[in-house]
Amino acid sequence: MNFMEKTFSRLSVLNRSILRYPVSFLFFLLSTIFIIRMNHLNFSELNQNPILACAIGGLLAAVSQSFYERFFSGKPFIRIGLYIISIIVTTIYYIFFLRSYPYYSAIVAIRSSALVAAALTAYVWAPTLKSTVPFDLAFTVAFKAFFTSFLYSIVLVIGSFAIVGTYGFLISEVNFEIFADLAAIIFALFAPMCFLSYIPNYHLVNGLESDKDQTFLSIPKLLSFLISYMIIPLLTAYTLILVLYIVPNLAGEFWFDNLLEPLLISYAIIGFITLFISHTIDNNSTHYFKLIFPKVLLIIVIFQTAASLIKVQQLGLTHGRYYVILFGVFSIISSILYSFSKSKRHYVPALFIILTTLSIVPPVDAMTFGINAQISKLKSLLEKNNMLEDNRIISNAEVSLEDREIIVGSLQYLYDYDALDRIEWLPNNFEFYGENFETVFGFDQYPSEYDADPTIDEVYDPAYTSLQLDKNRPVSLNTIDNDQLLIVPFSYDQYVQPSAQETSFQIESDEYNLVVTSEEDAFELNLNTSDNETMLNFDLSFLLEDEFEFYDTIQDLSVSELTFSEENDLVTLTVILDNLEHLDNESYSGSLYLLVNLKD
């Protein structure tokens, strides 16, 4: 088959997919029209939710078609009824979950992502119900269709952009919006219809015996190679790293490490995708992977779900942790089915659809649970600190730093998801970023360990600090009773090899040598004679340690606060610190005045 024949064959398949999915095509067409209209509007007039509703409607209509083909083929009235149901569900979702958010909202993004995930799973799963087609095979076909349609879309975008750009450069100027319009047509209309065209009507396959059917259902050699000899070895190495981290830290750090949650969720998702596809590939690599991975995943996910439940007790539930726990439950049950009950693993997609759908249906959805949990956590903390009386907040500046952070974190969460108005005991004029926050609660919304009435004797360890001699008023240095005044710069950087700094000077006819040592744990001055005999060692390391403390702001200190002396029978050294910048344990630098007074 030559190139033209292949092209017309592909176009005919696309045309058939339009007839096969007419309602989906209309939804995607409407979505494309909305996007093109949006491309030509002012930013203030943007409303993306109709676009999202149409995209979801197209997907739900495809799910309806999938159920029709599997159970009701040849019954057009039922097909129309299923399409009407998909349109009604889309309308309800738009009215109750989208219309009240005219601009981008994280709530909309979270709910819509969950709905799309459930609908896609249902679309892939429907043809496998009471069928000889296993879910693993249907998933692999959909996986291949997605990346094929995505690749075609990318090629079309690059090609169309090149053609229009060349036309605009050589012949006539074109509006910039045409590029966005072309991208909308390709990604919002062509791409989803191309994806649907690659999904066969399993009901018409008749045993999957024809060559054409086998082409649809075959696994590309490249995908088989990637899964068997690249993805599975990488997942094995990743699993080993997780085990090496989790086992030694089970006694402590693992249960409080928030960074591990997204890592494990990503690991589980990639693992399940690999597991589904590997069931269509038969070799030693996939055999051992299918045998071992579900059991290892089961153990890891049990520990992680327990850790997430502990964090809920400490910090309260959020929608993110809700999904972590929900996915943990899904992973535990799915791993058990794949490990010990292979005949029932076809329930895995049904379990995913049920749990995901529950996560977006009030009152058990993720957002409602998260908001109510944060309100409850906030109320309990205020009551604990005697800040709630007669349904009214009593300000309290003595709240511990730990409780402040949790209170502010809960308020921040509720503010981000437009839920502050659900708290009846908050003042009507309260604004999280407003000036009245401290008036209402008694402390600033940016709690810091330095808020607890710091003194010079308290021990802090700020990441960065800077102090300097206050030069807004005259600085007097008494040099009459001293023999020499030196200005001494110093610096240390952990990435630079430290070296001692030597300075020679003369008092009357005698030579002296000052050695400045600036290292991570040593900052000292050594005054030596010309014969290199030490007259006095002045250890200034206390300037970097707990004996001399810093704050997280730039300070202007008086001469008396920055003057330090050391003496013996031979000499008196007086240091007046001019400035000092200290970056944790990584570096420090500055300069000082050194007064040398020799004794008779």
Distances (CA, A) of 52 to 57, 110, 366: 8, 12, 20
Q: What is the pLDDT of residues 302-344, one digit of tens each?
A: 888 888 888 787 777 888 888 889 999 999 999 999 888 877 8
- Predicted confidence at residue 350, as pLDDT, reads 93
Taking residues 196-202, report their average pLDDT.
Answer: 87
In angstroms, the CA 221 to CA 550 distance is 63
Q: Is the pLDDT of residue 75 over 50?
A: yes
Residue 392's contacts (CB-CB under 8 Å, 6 or more residues apart) are 425
Q: Which two tokens stand for residue 558?
A: 């008086």
Which one, of 509, 592, 598, lies nearest residue 557 by Cα?
592
Q: Is the pLDDT of residue 382 over 60?
A: yes
In angstroms, the CA 324 to CA 182 distance is 38
DSSP, collapsed to helix, strand or coil, labels residue 583 as strand
- Predicted confidence at residue 493, as pLDDT, reads 83
Q: Is the pLDDT of residue 348 over 80?
A: yes
List beta partners, residue 523: 518
In angstroms, the CA 597 to CA 582 distance is 29
Q: What is the pLDDT of residues 256-293, one digit of tens each?
A: 666 667 777 888 889 999 998 988 888 888 889 988 99
Q: Which two tokens stand for residue 169?
A: 């450069």
Residue 203's contacts (CB-CB under 8 Å, 6 or more residues apart) are 69, 70, 73, 127
Q: How confident is the model at residue 502 (pLDDT cuts 50, 70, 90)?
A: confident
Distances (CA, A) of 458 to 31, 145, 403, 453: 62, 64, 21, 10
Taking residues 563-592, report their average pLDDT.
Answer: 85
- Predicted confidence at residue 556, as pLDDT, reads 77
Which one, of 360, 368, 366, 306, lies nearest residue 332 by Cα?
306
Q: What is the mean pLDDT of the chain?
A: 83
Q: How confident is the model at residue 455 (pLDDT cuts 50, 70, 90)?
A: very low
In angstroms, the CA 119 to CA 360 distance is 13
Q: What is the pLDDT of residues 429-444, one digit of tens each?
A: 787 777 678 888 888 7
Q: Is the pLDDT of residue 426 over 50?
A: yes
Q: What is the pLDDT of residues 27-41, one digit of tens each?
A: 999 999 999 988 887
Which one, of 385, 327, 380, 596, lies nearest residue 482 by Cα?
596
Give the angle 278-260-350 at the CA atoms, nearest 5°: 45
In angstroms, the CA 564 to CA 567 distance is 11
Q: Which two tokens stand for residue 571?
A: 């000499």
- Predicted confidence at residue 60, as pLDDT, reads 96
Q: Which two tokens stand for residue 168?
A: 């605009």
CB 560 within 8 A of CB 527: no
User: Residue 92: CA atoms inside 13 Å, Cβ hemisphere, count?
Assistant: 8
**Buried-state track 370-390, b at ≥16 Cβ within 10 A, e below 16:** bbebbbebbeebbeebebbee
Please give the full DSSP string across 45-83, using - where no structure is assigned: G---HHHHHHHHHHHHHHHHHHHHHHH-TT-HHHHHHHH
Which one, of 450, 398, 401, 418, lies nearest residue 105 by Cα?
418
Taking residues 165-189, report their average pLDDT.
Answer: 89
Taking residues 354-367, report their average pLDDT.
Answer: 89
Q: Which of 71-80, 137-146, 206-215, 313-322 has the lowest mean pLDDT?
A: 206-215
Q: How confident is the model at residue 156 (pLDDT cuts 50, 70, 90)?
A: very high
Which one, of 87, 88, 89, 67, lies nearest residue 78 by Cα?
67
Q: Which of 64-68, 78-82, 396-400 has the lowest mean pLDDT?
A: 396-400
What 270-274 contacts at long range (C-beta under 8 Å, 24+ apart), as own/partner pairs, is: 270/231, 270/235, 271/235, 271/297, 272/331, 272/334, 273/143, 274/227, 274/231, 274/232, 274/235
Q: What's the DSSP call for residue 174?
A: -
Taking each helix axis as running N to C, give the angle between helix 401-416 and helix 366-384, from 0 to 180 degrees, rounded to the nearest 10: 150
Q: Is the pLDDT of residue 513 over 60?
A: yes
List beta partners, residue 527: 514, 536
Distances (CA, A) of 451 to 142, 409, 545, 551, 552: 56, 17, 21, 11, 11
Q: What is the pLDDT of residues 217-233, one digit of tens each?
A: 677 788 888 888 899 99
- Listed in order, strand segments (DSSP E) in 362-483 are 388-389, 392-393, 464-469
> Between residues 134 and 252, which one has the greater pLDDT?
134
Q: How confident is the model at residue 6 (pLDDT cuts 50, 70, 90)?
A: low
- Predicted confidence at residue 179, as pLDDT, reads 92
End-to-end CA distance of the chain: 107
Q: How confident is the model at residue 102 (pLDDT cuts 50, 70, 90)?
A: low
In angstroms, the CA 306 to CA 323 distance is 14
Most confident of 45-54, 83-92, 457-466, 561-570: 83-92
